Amino acid sequence: MSVRLTTVFIIFVLSTLAAAHEEEIQQISPDHLHIKGYDVTFNRVPLRVGQEIELSVLVRDEQDTPTTNLDVQGQILDPSVNKELFYSGTRESPPGTYTFLWTPSYAGDYVAQFVFHTEATEIIQPSFAITVTDPRSTYVLVGSIISGLLIAGAGIWLARPQKRKKFQWTPLLTGTGLGALIIIGGYSVSNYYSQGGDKGFVVCGPDGCQLALHIHSQLDIFSCGKRIDLPLEAGDLNKQHTHKERNRLHYHALIKTDPTGTQLLEPEKLRIGELFDYLQMPFTPTCLGQHCNTCDGKPAHTTMTVNGVPNNQLSDYVWKDGDRITIEFR
């Protein structure tokens, strides 16, 4: 008898918890969630590689009034590897609408997440599935089809019977064969871009695994009110470096990782201070460039934000693809 009562009690508790969870998170539509007393509506926009996009949500309370003055952080997650790719602070405008900027580097399926706290300090994380497309995929596919058809057409035209010649099979077979190869090759490259194939790949051998990275970050530096521009073409090409864009950081090299490519084993290679060390430019809490301790005779110190969020790691920060980093000495 006691066993039956215990079983009934457990079922009752589990059912109650499940019902409570369903009440906490209710999906009205893919872009509309009701979660812990808040209505959160996602403003869905087209997402394309290389284009800076505004991702925003409107947060309202149970009286359908915009909820203002929340501290909201935006995040981009890659569900295929269960990894955070990007985070940012948000701005509120108009009231109750929270927005952050993101520039996708690769095509694929991701999750946009907006994190904030309730008055009871509960963490709320409304999440929305998003898809990024790569225009190069369409350009390559259309271009290869047109090129393939033109070459095949040229082969057919050259193979036609003429006054003193019979139908020529060689131009026909050559033209159609080359045309087919171009179309197949174009389809493969198009599929590569559409699947985000250029985001990096893992190569494993006897000495472990390495991830081929091709990532970028924007760096804005100000010291005592004046902008500091990094030198052109600065840094080792196998490490962090700049090109003609000056303050745009590049990293195009292999880095040791776990077999899944989600855990970097050499994060120090992406430590932002590594490039400053190469340039012999001081970057500490009390110095930046040629200035230390004071600006115009007044006490000063170094501050840093990453995508609008204060970060006190300074030179030890390991940057991520798409970061916008602002360093100020003031």
Give residue-wise pLDDT tens across range 236-268.
888 999 988 778 999 989 899 988 888 889 999
Beta strands per DSSP E along 30-70: 32-35, 38-43, 53-60
Q: What is the mean pLDDT of residues 115-135?
A: 88
pLDDT at 235 over 90: no
Read off the pTM: 0.77
Q: What is the pLDDT of residue 120?
A: 67
- Which DSSP state fits 301? -
Q: How far is CA 281 from CA 156, 251, 289, 326, in A?
A: 65, 19, 5, 16
Residues 61, 66, 70: CA angle, nearest 5 degrees: 85
Q: What is the mean pLDDT of residues 109-138?
A: 90
Q: What is the pLDDT of residue 219?
A: 94
pLDDT-above-70 percentage for the chain: 91
The structure tokens listed for 314 are: 């300074």
Q: What is the pLDDT of residue 158?
A: 86
Using an 8 Å Cβ cutoff, are 72 and 114 in contact?
Answer: yes
pLDDT at 15 over 50: no
CATH 2.60.40 assigned to domain 201-329? The reply is no
Q: Name residues whose C-beta falls within 8 Å of residue 266's C-beta, 6 or more positions apart in sequence.
A: 255, 256
Distance of CA 114 to the CA centre of its chain: 15
pLDDT-above-90 percentage for the chain: 60
pLDDT at 330 over 90: yes
Residue 299 — φ and ψ, nearest 5°? -55, 140
pLDDT tier at 329, thresholds 50, 70, 90? very high
The structure tokens listed for 126 are: 């409304």
Average pLDDT, the chain: 87
Q: How far apart are CA 15 and CA 33, in angstroms?
A: 22
Q: What is the pLDDT of residue 19?
A: 41
Between 117-126, 179-188, 297-306, the lowest mean confidence (pLDDT) is in 117-126
For residue 127, the cross-strand partners are: 113
pLDDT at 124 over 50: yes
Q: How far apart are CA 302 and CA 275, in angstroms?
A: 17
Is the preceding peptide bond at 94 cis, omega within 30 degrees of 0?
yes
pLDDT tier at 165, thresholds 50, 70, 90? confident
Domains of the chain by residue range: 26-132, 135-194, 201-329
Q: What is the mean pLDDT of residues 114-135?
A: 88
pLDDT at 194 over 60: yes
pLDDT at 159 over 50: yes
pLDDT at 98 over 60: yes
Helical pair 169-194 and 135-159, crossing angle rounded to 10 deg = 180
Q: Which residue has the tokens 């995929």?
A: 137
Q: What is the pLDDT of residue 198?
A: 67
Closest CA to 99 of 84, 88, 86, 83: 88
Q: What is the mean pLDDT of residues 145-159?
A: 91
The structure tokens listed for 120 are: 């009871």
Using an 8 Å Cβ cutoff, are 291 and 185 in contact?
Answer: no
Q: Per-residue pLDDT tens for 262-296? A: 888 999 999 999 999 999 999 999 999 999 999 99
CATH 3.30.420.140 assigned to domain 26-132? The reply is no
pLDDT at 197 over 70: yes
